[in-house]
Amino acid sequence: MRCIRVSDPDSFDGLVNGALKASSAVYVLFFGREAPGTNKSWCSDCVIADPLVREEIGKVENSILLEVPVDRSTDQDSATNTFRKRGDIRLTRIPTLLRWGKAGPSAIRLVEGECTRAGIRRYIALTDESSGHATPLLESEERAVTDI
């Protein structure tokens, strides 16, 4: 797995497009930016999810993980607020894990406490474009992994 940190929101589209040229297994993780003093995210769910996301995405052949740090929604001056306003992303909660394809992000996303080891594994299987079809969801799973 290759990790790419998106430090500048203005570079997001270029980095995603570059990743898509190199791999069909492109994932984007939006997480709470690390505090300068501690180097730990202010988002406790993000601290828990980060190693799980890295481990499970790392098992996907030729995968690329774009890591996008975002500030608190109350920080109105933050450039990362653009991800909350973009129609294709509509970021409302973090962590948020998206699979990105040539047509944009998957309609299915994992958010907050859904980023468990089992949830991530299921998400990878559900969004695997190489299989040629999406794995059907059970009704309970659909409620658990969809945030539209």
103-143 pLDDT, tens digit per residue, is: 999 999 999 999 999 999 999 999 986 544 444 444 444 44
DSSP 61: T
Q: What is the dihedral of CA 99, 97, 11, 62, to 10 degrees?
A: -50
Question: What distance in Å separates the CA atoms of residue 127 and residue 109, rounded to the nearest whole number?
Answer: 9
- 115 carries an active-site annotation: no
**Helical ranges in the chain per DSSP H:** 12-22, 44-58, 82-85, 117-126, 139-145
List of residues 6+ apart from 82 with CB closer than 8 A: 9
pLDDT at residue 143, as a whole number:
45
pLDDT at residue 130, as a whole number:
57
- 46 carries an active-site annotation: yes
List of residues 6+ apart from 26 with CB closer than 8 A: 16, 19, 20, 63, 64, 66, 99, 100, 101
Q: Which of 16, 19, 25, 46 is catalytic?
A: 46
Q: How many CA atoms lie within 13 A of 10 on its CB side?
A: 2
Q: Which of 19, 43, 89, 110 is catalytic?
A: 43
DSSP 83: H
44-81 pLDDT, tens digit per residue, is: 999 999 999 999 999 999 999 999 999 887 787 788 78
Q: What is the dihedral of CA 82, 78, 47, 58, to 10 degrees?
A: 40
pLDDT at residue 79, as a whole number:
81
